[in-house]
């Protein structure tokens, strides 16, 4: 949730904005964005069972007028800036797959977010090599890292390949902007 605090209070990138939460899962980031007064939140995930949990929570919290769950594979999810009023600012927040189980899995999330966003917040594994790769990758797409900070994240067992109930991992939370 620190990513939302960071985006909402440090940079004012949530209030009155259209928020995309790519790979939303059960929607923790979407829900937090709604409470920070996002104009609307589009929560995209391929996992319908996770989106059902999001829908239930959103309904119970009475914020279903703000959050719209969308079941889609990010590879095929398309949105055009032409579909959105030009005055509406778009912030994308995401915790994409890290590319450990499937190399390059995080790249499609970045490419997709960069295709329609004004600013992007994303969580990636820490490490010098990863940081260098991300810096170079976003530069090729005419974006840049405007800020980042290290963070210890608790990863809960949610996939079959996870071997522990919880695991602490070092990540960096990035803020990307267009060049």
Taking only the tens place, the pLDDT of each residue in 46-102 is 999 999 999 999 999 999 999 999 999 999 999 888 888 889 999 999 998 865 556
Domain positions in the chain: 2-178
Instruction: List alpha helices for 40-127, DSSP H.
Output: 48-60, 105-116
Give the relative orientation of helices 28-35 and 48-60 as an angle to the nearest 10 degrees: 30
> Which architecture characterizes domain 2-178 according to CATH?
3-Layer(aba) Sandwich (3.40)
What pTM was estimated for this model as a whole? 0.91
Which tens digit of pLDDT belongs to each residue from 50-61? 999 999 999 999
| Integer CA distances (angstroms), 119 to 55, 101, 123, 140, in order | 26, 27, 14, 16
**Rounded Cα–Cα distance for residues 139 and 96 (Å):** 19
């Amino acid at each position: 949730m620190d990513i939302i605090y960071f985006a909402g209070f440090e940079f004012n990138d949530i209030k009155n904005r259209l928020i995309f939460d790519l790979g939303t899962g059960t929607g923790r980031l979407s829900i937090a964005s709604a409470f920070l007064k996002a104009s609307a939140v589009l929560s995209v995930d391929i996992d319908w069972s996770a989106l059902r949990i999001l829908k239930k929570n959103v309904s119970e919290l009475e914020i279903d007028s703000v959050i719209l769950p969308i079941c889609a594979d990010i590879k095929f999810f398309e949105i055009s800036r032409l579909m959105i009023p030009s005055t509406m600012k778009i912030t994308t927040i995401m915790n994409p797959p890290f590319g450990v189980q499937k190399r390059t899995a995080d790249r499609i999330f970045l490419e997709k977010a960069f295709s329609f966003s004004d600013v992007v917040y994303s969580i990636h594994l820490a490490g010098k090599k990863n940081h260098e790769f991300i810096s170079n990758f976003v530069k090729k797409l005419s974006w840049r890292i405007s800020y980042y900070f290290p963070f210890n994240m608790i990863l809960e067992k949610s996939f079959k390949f996870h071997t522990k109930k919880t695991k602490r991992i070092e990540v960096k939370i990035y803020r990307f902007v267009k060049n």
